Amino acid sequence: MEVKSFLLCETISTTTLTSVKQLPSSSVRFRQNQNQNASQSSFKPISLFNHIYTHPRYQFHFQRLIRNATNCSNPPNTTKRTSTRKKSSNSNPNIFKTKTIESSPPAPPPRLDLDTTKQIEQKGKTLRGLNQNGDPLGRRDLGKNVVDWICQGMKAMALDFALAEMQGEFLEVNQRMGPGLTFVIQAQPYLNAIPMPLGLEAICLKACTHYPTLFDHFQRELRDVLQGLQKKSMVQNWRDTESWKLLKELANSAQHRAIARKTVQPKIVPGVLGMDMEKAKAIQSRIDEFTNRMSELLRIERDSELEFTQEELDAVPTPDDTLDSSKPIEFLVSHGQAQQELCDTICNLNAVSTSTGLGGMHLVLFRVEGNHRLPPTTLSPGDMVCVRICDSRGAGATSCVQGFVNNLGEDGCSISVALESRHGDPTYSKLFGKTVRIDRIYGLADTLTYERNCEALMMLQKNGLQKRNPSIAVVATLFGDKEDVAWLDENNFADWAEEELAGQSRTGTFDDSQQRAIALGLNKKRPILIIQGPPGTGKTGLLKELIVLAVQQGERVLVTAPTNAAVDNMVEKLSNIGLDIVRVGNPARISSTVASKSLGELVKSKLANFQMEIERKKSDLRKDLRHCLKDDSLAAGIRQLLKQLGRTLKKKEKETVKEILNRAQVVLATNTGAADPLIRRLNTFDLVVIDEAGQAIEPACWIPMLRGKRCILAGDQCQLAPVILSKKALEGGLGVSLLERTATLHDGILATKLTTQYRMNDAIASWASKEMYDGSLKSSSTVYSHLLVDSPFVKPTWITQCPLLLLDTRMPYGSLSVGCEEHLDPAGTGSLYNEGEADIVVQHVLSLIYAGVSPAAIAVQSPYVAQVQLLRDRLGELPGAAGVEVATIDSFQGREADAVIISMVRSNTLGAVGFLGDSRRMNVALTRARKHVAVVCDSSTICHNTFLARLLRHIRYFGRVKHAEPGSFGGSGLGMNPMLPSIS
């Protein structure tokens, strides 16, 4: 079996021998590759045999292949080579002086018979467990002689690195360097040049392929070499050298951290959550299972998002002539097109203007050719996009220019994108005068977002139960047993609640459930609190109060949310109450209304005078430079002064950033933005608040949670959930938010619910309470029976006195109103629209406006973007309807309006309702309204779904049902529908 495994490894590795032979020997610097193909081949095979390399059965044989290949890398005849390191560490003090020496051919590698191979492998088994450990192996594990052997090899490698930089040939080193197996292969020639200590060959073989050990020693040796150069004045600052920067970049990469992950050693948790070692091991086992499962689900979801993104990028978005938009839904269902649409591509755009936005981002305004309206799209401000030139078919023809949607024009014909590329970039400049397309890039498809989620899981697994982890109590609570946190279920809540709130200045009045949430949130002994805030219960105002009171009691607070819009909303709430707040994030994704609180703007404002002074000095020096160009020494001195001024400004900017962040009482960012190095370098936060936690995947929540001592999660698991593309990842649990998981954890003792709503008429709220909140949601007396007619200047009509209204497109005796069929969008977006329903919506909007309802108090929603676009077009033609907001249900969460009109769109003989059957989506749709909800639908189709059927029954009992058809509002066509289809 061992012989077979050797042959297998020999076969797979033959493609890599050429690249391995091209590696430098211990005394030869990195040379340029012989040709481009050779360079490419040195990287491709690594991924092919990586799994075989890590398999214990094949490890030894692969190591021997590397040794044999590198020992045979020189031709048999004598050659001259350049030596870049000393033979003795105490000889020639100028270690970088090169000299030409004669080199004899290397001795052939010793041939090991099968018995010898087995003996060495048997000795290596004693360290096999250590080889799987991410900790660097030290003298206790390897012994002094083996450590010295590694140090000599890594010192030679470090000398080659430094010499390559000194001679301006660092690019090649940069191209060859990489984490894991790539680094191990690069290190082999340097180690092979040094004889192994006798009798310790097995340990040497294990150590020479252990990446964390090699990297750790190489880092130390490179530091010593660079410090030696600095002492000899050969470099100004060893930390600024390209060698050291490359090393630190490698050390900070997600790949390195994943490979060099240390094995967690559970420690006893101090304080009220104290536990013995057995309990800690049990919790660690749960953490391991959770992080491994989530890491796999993240990988699956990312693969799906990458695949989907690539399909979108490769797609030619032209209408499919084989599909007739007028065909019945039976055809669409059979072809798999009755699912939720993802309208993430806009084609046929022209770049018409450019400007500079916040943070120096370049804003480019795109318009549709011919000034037509944009097609239906789910793109919204802050979305990451890829901008490319497209050919005549609409397919992408150039590489991506990555950016973010800045805004969508109010005229519906333009979109502004903040691009990361700068003026002068060839791809950027070619966008003008060409036809352009814009595609969305999904979250995990972005490498940085994916790596930050994975890193959070890794840190949770690695440091979750370590004493140095500030969030250790949070981790122990969420992964421990109920008896470990039973103390949280206090019976004397009222006693300590009054004590907690004593002496605190309040910014408003709060009901009992809100006061309980505030008291629990201010309890510093409580590691985590879950606040479920159903619609209209004042969750955002409550969080504002909690943050203010937490700051008053001396706590620093980190506030995050899954979206930039939610973060900016919280910034707006906190802006005018005297707190020192800082919004951290990409300037292009921060709303202009809160830009003054962004880190970039705060730094710019604070350094305005300093920057002006620096620019004045630079201007004077440039004038002097123009007058002394003939004097080389003087010109060189002036250029040096200019560089020094630039360094001074950068240093001052770094100091100012640090000062602003350290002084801030509240720091705000998105969940993934909390992994920004600027935030990671700050001291631990006392409190982490995550708003809209129900919309975030759990790994993303752990990014900010690991930065604080305790945490508050706020949101509503009965509203929109995280968007997951992969069905496998969804079924595996990635779509279950941390808020949803913890709301019922330990029998719900971690959670509290806000139970009084201050938004909706009770006829609307009672449906949500019964269907979504087990009857626990009560209506405040201030809104219990309020109607549109109670608003100023609104006339009393049957519509303005009706809180719930069903406008049914199904005729009394079963036939469908003319023109009220659903259709597939002919633009090829996959979305659906219903022209008849659009006409009825427009008529109802006009009825409200004629009754005196302000257009700004009316919101129109539909789950389908094609219907939203159609409604915008229809309402845009009416001057009196200016101000009516039209949006998808998903984009309207967190907002409200006096009157809400919902167009359901679906009308087919199969009774297919698609994602309308998602109870959380419909909960969001109806609970946006304060005083009036009108649902436009085909009751025959909608009633095929039992959840939606109960909704229609509720409207019939607590509101009014009218039969409607296009054009009926002007005459007698709007009549009473005495009966609904059978509702089971």
List phi, psi (to 5°) of 433.
85, 5
Q: What is the model's pLDDT at position 353? A: 81
Q: How confident is the model at residue 415 (pLDDT cuts 50, 70, 90)?
A: confident
435-440/345-356 β-pairing: antiparallel
Residue-range domain boundaries for the chain: 2-259, 311-448, 461-756, 762-976
Give the residue among 294, 644, 680, 216 at the shortest CA–CA distance from 460.
Answer: 294
Q: What single-letter DSSP state applies at residue 363? A: E
In whole angstroms, give the CA distance from residue 796 to residue 793. 10
Residues sharing a CB contact under 8 Å with residue 942, sequence separation 6 or more, in sequence order: 904, 906, 913, 916, 948, 949, 952
Return the pLDDT at 427.
58
- Which of 172-181, 215-224, 781-790 has maximum average pLDDT? 781-790
Q: Is 419 within 8 Å of 364 (Cβ atoms)?
A: yes
- Evaluate if residue 901 carries a pLDDT over 80: yes
- Residue partners of 359: CB distance under 8 A and separation at least 6: 586, 587, 588, 598, 600
Q: Where are the beta strands (DSSP E) in 767-865?
A: 778-779, 804-808, 823-824, 832-833, 858-862
Distance of CA 479 to CAs 273, 730, 741, 746, Å?
Answer: 12, 22, 11, 10
Which is more confidently placed, 21 or 627? Answer: 627
Crossing angle for the helix pair 211-231 and 181-192, to the nearest 10 degrees: 70
pLDDT for the residue 572: 92
Q: Specify the 3-state DSSP secondary structure of 805.
A: strand
- Across the range 347-371, mean pLDDT stands at 76
Which helix (DSSP H) or strand (DSSP E) does residue 301 occupy? helix 277-314
| pLDDT interval class at 139 (50, 70, 90) | confident
Residue 917 burial class via C-beta count within 10 angstroms: exposed 0-12, middle 13-18, buried 19 and up:
middle
Rounded to a whole number of angstroms, the CA Rg of the chain reads 33
Task: Classify residue 741 by its DSSP letter.
Answer: H
Where are any strands of DSSP class E within 211-340?
none
Q: Which residue has the tokens 């790596």?
A: 451
631's CB contacts (< 8 A; 6+ apart) are: none
pLDDT band at 661 (very low <50, low <70, confident <90, very high): very high
Q: Let me know if 588 is exposed, middle or buried by CB neighbors in 10 A (0-12, 13-18, 19+).
A: buried
Greater model confidence, 759 or 199: 759
Return the closest-CA partner of residue 852 out of 805, 921, 797. 797
**CATH architecture label of 311-448:** Beta Barrel (2.40)
Q: Which residue has the higher pLDDT, 259 or 12?
A: 259
The class of domain 461-756 in CATH terms is alpha beta
pLDDT category, 490, cuts 50, 70, 90? low
Cα gap 211→46, rounded to integer Å: 15
Q: What pLDDT score was predicted for residue 557?
A: 97
Q: Is the pLDDT of residue 849 over 60?
A: yes
DSSP 482-541: GGGGGGGS-S-HHHHHHHHHTT---SS---HHHHHHHHHHH-TT-SEEEEE--TTS-HHH
Task: Lowest mean pLDDT of 411-415, 567-571, 682-686, 960-964, name the range.
Answer: 411-415
What is residue 97's predicted lDDT score, i.e. its pLDDT? 34
Query: What kind and span of H or E run contains 933?
Result: strand 929-937
Identical fold, 461-756 and 762-976: yes
Give CATH for domain 762-976.
3.40.50.300
Quick one: pLDDT at residue 186?
Answer: 82
Q: Which residue has the tokens 């967690």?
A: 264
Residues whose CB falls within 8 Å of the CB of residue 51, separated by 6 or more in sequence, listed in order:
none
* Identity at 667, one-letter amino acid code: V
Share of the chain above pLDDT 70, in %: 74
Cα–Cα dist 842/960, whole Å: 19
Residue range 714-743: average pLDDT?
A: 93
